Structure 1
């Protein structure tokens, strides 16, 4: 028996990520141009570049992809955008501010994904599965944001919580109460 069994190679892990379903092939596009902050802002757009753009580039080798990471100071007030250029010369600008990387990907695929994307989307929705991997995190965050937090710091709630804790039958007895009958 060998002492060390090597794990998957770095190349096989990268290829597995690039070939992950659904395949993000785009039809009728000439190029994509992204403009976003280099750091400290535009988090969804930056995650899109990191997580999804490589898969899109791998599935569409003929696609011209341009990413402009611009330094942004606190005084600057501009939003990230994606310009999608079609083969017929038409251009569409997509506002990608305050969006998750999965919603940016879905918006791009809805725009130029073709029939394969529509079929995958319909099959995933019919099965009750997320359309893209990682989309369930977006749903959980949106659900957390919608539910109001109860303020436990006001005196009425605090007194009720302490009273509930002290009178609970599951509360373990300590000190003399543990010894006495």
Structure 2
């Protein structure tokens, strides 16, 4: 039955949004890896590791259906010291560990892919870096946060040289150019300042 004019067209279904997220490039196929075992806090700590489990791990599972993945979420108290880590076990019996403390989920995913991504990942990485594009979706936020953090620490120091202020502005312009975000006009109190 054809659609009538003026009818409401429903938004994409939840399933189509999930499939779009799972098929977002690049494909996170791991070569020669038998098992991944993740250990992290269940809540209130290890934000990057928890975001990795939520955002990147489903894409890894989708690309590697036979991979054994184990996630251990530990109930942690304030006084407990728990280091989030990923233990990788390869087909040849070797093991490797990725420290996930104080890292973004995209950083963890890049480290995992560097260890087990193989030649397809290396080719994708070289082509993407040559084009000046981010390797993974969401990496732009990581770059902006590191830029904001460096600006905050630089502005905290009172004896900041003038040349360093210029480099911060250049770096901010590069990040803006990379994101293709146009400069926002100044509004409110910012419009009054030079």
Q: Into which bin does the TM-score normalised by the smaller protein fall?
A: 0.7 to 0.9
Q: Distance in 1 between matches of 2:118 and 2:85?
A: 22
Listed one character per residue, the Cα deviations across residues 3-35 of structure 1 (whole Å, up to 9, x for unaligned) are 211121111111111010000000000010000
User: 119, 122, 126: which one pairs with 1:118?
Assistant: 122
1:140 equivalent to 2:137? Answer no
Q: In the alignment, what sits opposite 2:69?
A: 65
1:149 equivalent to 2:155? Answer yes
1:40 equivalent to 2:50? Answer no
Q: In the alignment, what sits opposite 1:3?
A: 7
Superposed displacement of residue 151, structure 1? 8.3
Superposed displacement of residue 149, structure 1? 2.3
Q: In the alignment, what sits opposite 2:85?
A: 81
Q: Distance in 2 between matches of 1:86 and 1:35?
A: 18
Q: In the alignment, what sits opposite 1:49?
A: 53
Unmatched segments (≥5 aa) in structure 2 = 159-191
User: 107, 118, 121: which one pairs with 2:111?
Assistant: 107
The CA RMSD measured in Å over matched residues stands at 1.7
Listed one character per residue, the Cα deviations across residues 42-62 of structure 1 (whole Å, up to 9, x for unaligned) are 000000000000000000000
Q: Which has the larger radius of gyration?
A: 1
Flag as ranges the 4+ runs of structure 1 deviating above 6 A: none
Superposed displacement of residue 150, structure 1? 5.2
Aligned-partner SS, 1:98: coil
Count of residue pairs brought into register by the alignment: 154
TM-score by length of 2: 0.76
TM-score by length of 1: 0.81
Listed one character per residue, the Cα deviations across residues 100-146 of structure 1 (whole Å, up to 9, x for unaligned) are 00000000000000111111111111111101111111111111111
Q: In the alignment, what sits opposite 2:165?
A: none
Unmatched segments (≥5 aa) in structure 1 = 153-169, 172-181
Q: Is the 8 A contact 2:41 2:82 kept in 1?
A: no
